[in-house]
Amino acid sequence: MLTERFIALALLAVSVVLLARFAPGAIRGWRIYAGTGERRQQDAVGRAPATPPGVADRIALLTEAGYHRIGETSLMLPGGERFAWIVAADDGDSYAILAGGLSGTPLTGIYTAWPDGTWLGTMHPIGTPADRRSLQVRIVATTLADAVTTHRAGVARLRSVHGTPRQVRTMTDMLAHDADYRARFGGSRLRPLTARIVMPAVLAAGAVLLSLSLLLVTPP
């Protein structure tokens, strides 16, 4: 019985260490996921930090591609406030959210919406694709210029079916779009990522319970 008890103790020690490692991220990820449908970006014009280099270079590239800057937003997350920089297409057909300029991966999302509820998104350089009737999201891992080209091709394709996109020319327009997107798709878009973050902690917690059960049934 000593061998079985030693194995149970070793399993308990390892699972407790793993649970301590994965639990904080899992809790944070779940809190972000749980509040996505209600959480809204806020206008942060005049309050956002200075444009970091990781954002400024993307704004310059998008300006050459026919976009212009319209403002900044903030979003309160469990880990703190996050800022993003917003540009809109000169023709009003799309807008882009630029994040990750202060730390982390420099993410850019380009979006277009139609009056009938159809959405098109193009993410660069990473993201989660989608192919639904009302939501199509493409991931372009090469260059931001390629992402713009891909998005415009998608807009042209969907325009023939859904008509003229909803126009985005001001921060008020962008915030209305963002609220609509989050209400429609926010939780479902985060679900796969949240599952990947939460599952290791769930498995570690299960291992803790299993090792405790083995200790209870194994004589000392």
Question: Does the structure show a pLDDT above 90 at 101?
Answer: no
The answer to whether residues 203 and 175 belong to one domain is no
Are 25 and 57 part of one and the same domain? no
Mean pLDDT, range 162-183, rounded to an integer: 94
Count how many domains the chain has.
2
The yes-or-no verdict on residue 38 having pLDDT over 70 is: no
Do 85 and 122 sit in the same domain of this protein? yes
Region 97-126: what's the mean pLDDT?
Answer: 88
CB 187 within 8 Å of CB 36:
yes
Residue 194 lies in a domain: no
* 155 within a domain of the structure (yes/no): yes
More confidently predicted of 125 and 101:
125
Q: In this predicted structure, what is the pLDDT of residue 147?
A: 98
- Report the percent of the chain where pLDDT is more than 90: 47
Least confident of 29-43, 66-80, 145-159: 29-43
My answer on whether 29 and 48 are in the same domain is no
Kindly state whether residues 208 and 107 are assigned to the same domain: no
Answer yes or no: are the C-beta atoms of 137 and 122 closer than 8 Å. yes
- Candidate ranges 10-24, 32-46, 56-70; pick with highest mean pLDDT: 56-70
Whether residue 181 is contained in a domain is answered as: yes
CA angle 126, 190, 89 (to 5 degrees): 55
Identify whether residues 28 and 44 lie together within a single domain.
no
pLDDT at res. 55: 93
> Which of the residue ranges 22-26, 90-94, 176-180 would you say has the lowest mean pLDDT?
22-26
Q: What is the pLDDT of residue 40?
A: 73
Do 46 and 150 share a structural domain?
yes
The arithmetic mean of pLDDT across residues 20-34, rounded, is: 61
Question: Which residue range is the domain that position 6 belongs to?
Answer: 2-33+199-217
What is the reported pLDDT for 62? 98
SS3 100: coil
Greater confidence, 16 or 91?
Answer: 91
Residues 137 and 184 in one domain: yes
User: Given this model, what pLDDT does residue 100 score?
Assistant: 76
Say if residue 21 is in the same domain as residue 95: no
**Burial class for 48, CB neighbours closer than 10 Å (0-12, 13-18, 19+):** middle
- Note whether 70 and 88 are within 8 A (CB): yes
Q: What is the pLDDT of residue 103?
A: 47
Q: 154: part of which helix (H) or strand (E)?
A: helix 144-162
